[in-house]
């Protein structure tokens, strides 16, 4: 499946095209008005130099001035302060430039030169309100596109994770081994065979329900139930070669976690650590709450791996899970591991517990 791409530069280009176009039209009108009033066209140019330069600086810093985490009161207050600063600076700069160049006859219009900066300041403050509204509009468009891209990316990652989980549960080797074990159990232990069939059905139903609901997270209790069923089916093949130790705080079953996250960690431990090891091994799963984080640890005493091999497994379970955590929780979640050849594999997943 091709991942959706978002290029925020398209909105930025549109902003600057409209910004430059708007100031060009504004400047043209000022020059035309000054010419009509029998002033030098250069007076119109001098009138717009200072506000244009300051507006360009503000435009470059627009994302800082439009922080979405600010309250409405704080946003309004900051823009009032910036707008007044812009108006005063533009008014003083424009007046000073016109006086210095001798391009304007201040005796006309009945306005004393000492009051002209105030007149300009009022005019430029109104101009800033237009600029601020324009920046808010374009930044809103950009953030909407970013949100849509983020949702689309998460949908792709979720689909990849679900598809991978289904493949892990129903790849040819898994299906063959499970069916072979079921054939033996049907004769030797019918109740055990019935439980195994229920486990397979639950895995299929879980993936199907998640796909229909389009869920990003599920309660930890549901994820644990599926993880236990997955382990139960793998135990049909590995039997005494694999032991599992669960250490779980039962009070955390309602905490939301990404679907298939625990199974991904268990699959990595079983497939790469325990199964290839001749005498098998053990896996320890621990789930606890540390401060405001839910900590899920999976440790095995299997074959282990080199750090380069883990990092280079692009598109594999752990890398895919790490990308999903970043998309869902940003910097509030993490996935770390420790391993070396012959020393087993230890992985820790942390997500917000609130």
Q: Residue 246: how many CB atoms within 10 A of its CB?
A: 13
Q: Which one is predicted more confidently, 223 or 200?
A: 223
What is the pLDDT at residue 297?
A: 93
Query: What mean pLDDT is reported for the chain?
Result: 78
Closest CA to 12 of 141, 148, 147, 151: 141
Element (H, E) at 222: helix 220-238
pLDDT tens-digit series, residues 269-302: 888 888 888 888 899 999 998 878 999 999 998 8
Round to whole Å and give the CA distance between 115 and 168. 78
Helix 317-329 × helix 261-268 angle, to 10° = 150
* Mean pLDDT along residues 5-16: 64
Round to whole Å and give the CA distance between 19 and 48. 14
Same domain, 179 and 144: no
Element (H, E) at 294: strand 293-300
* Mean pLDDT along residues 39-57: 83
Domain count, the chain: 2
Q: Is residue 6 pLDDT above 50, yes or no?
A: no
Q: Which residue has the tokens 């997270």?
A: 217
Round to whole Å and give the CA distance between 39 and 104. 7
CATH number assigned to the domain comprising residue 346: 3.30.565.10
Same domain, 183 and 285: yes
SS3 per-residue string spanning 104-115: CCCCHHHCCHHH
Q: Residue 298 is encoded by which pair of tokens?
A: 């999976």
What is the pLDDT at residue 159?
A: 56
Residue 313 lies in a domain: yes
Round to whole Å and give the CA distance between 246 and 228. 10
* Mean pLDDT along residues 223-237: 87
Beta partners for residue 247, in sequence order: 286
* Mean pLDDT along residues 157-184: 60
Same domain, 222 and 293: yes
Q: Is residue 193 pLDDT above 50, yes or no?
A: yes
Same domain, 86 and 181: no
Same domain, 135 and 230: no
pLDDT tens-digit series, residues 121-145: 888 888 888 888 888 887 777 777 7
Round to whole Å and give the CA distance between 46 and 48. 6
Round to whole Å and give the CA distance between 239 and 270. 12
Backbone angles phi and psi of 137, in degrees to 5: -65, -50
Same domain, 208 and 95: no
> Containing domain of residue 48, as a range?
9-149
Round to whole Å and give the CA distance between 117 and 115. 6
């Amino acid at each position: 499946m091709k991942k959706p791409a978002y290029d925020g530069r398209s909105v930025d280009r549109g902003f600057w095209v409209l910004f430059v176009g708007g100031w060009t039209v504004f400047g043209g009108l000022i020059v035309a008005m000054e010419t009509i009033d029998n002033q030098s066209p250069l007076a119109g140019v001098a009138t717009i130099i200072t506000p244009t330069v300051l507006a360009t600086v503000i435009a470059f810093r627009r994302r800082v001035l439009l922080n979405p985490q600010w309250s409405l009161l704080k946003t309004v207050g900051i823009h009032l302060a910036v707008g007044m600063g812009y108006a005063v600076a533009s008014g003083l700069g424009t007046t000073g430039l016109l006086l210095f160049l001798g391009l304007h006859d201040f005796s006309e219009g009945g306005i004393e030169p000492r009051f002209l900066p105030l007149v300009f300041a009022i005019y430029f403050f109104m101009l800033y309100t237009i600029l601020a509204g324009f920046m808010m509009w374009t930044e809103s468009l950009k953030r909407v596109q970013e949100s849509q891209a983020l949702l689309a990316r998460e949908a792709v990652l979720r689909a990849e994770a679900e598809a991978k989980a289904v493949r892990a549960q129903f790849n040819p080797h898994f299906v063959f081994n499970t069916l072979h074990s079921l054939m033996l159990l049907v004769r030797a232990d019918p109740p055990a065979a019935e439980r195994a069939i229920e486990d397979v059905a639950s895995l299929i139903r879980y993936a199907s329900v998640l796909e229909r609901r389009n869920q990003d997270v599920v309660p930890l209790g549901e994820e644990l139930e599926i993880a236990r069923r997955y382990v139960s089916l793998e135990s049909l093949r590995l039997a005494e070669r694999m032991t599992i130790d669960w250490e779980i705080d039962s009070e955390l079953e309602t905490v939301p976690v990404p679907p298939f996250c625990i199974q991904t960690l268990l699959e990595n431990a079983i497939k790469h650590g325990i199964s290839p090891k001749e005498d098998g091994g053990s896996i320890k799963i621990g789930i606890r709450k540390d401060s405001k984080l839910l900590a899920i640890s999976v440790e095995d005493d299997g074959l282990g791996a080199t750090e380069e091999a883990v990092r280079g497994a692009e598109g594999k379970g752990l890398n895919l899970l790490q990308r999903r955590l970043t998309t869902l929780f940003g910097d509030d979640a993490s996935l770390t591991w420790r391993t070396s050849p012959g020393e087993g594999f230890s992985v820790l997943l942390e997500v917000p517990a609130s």
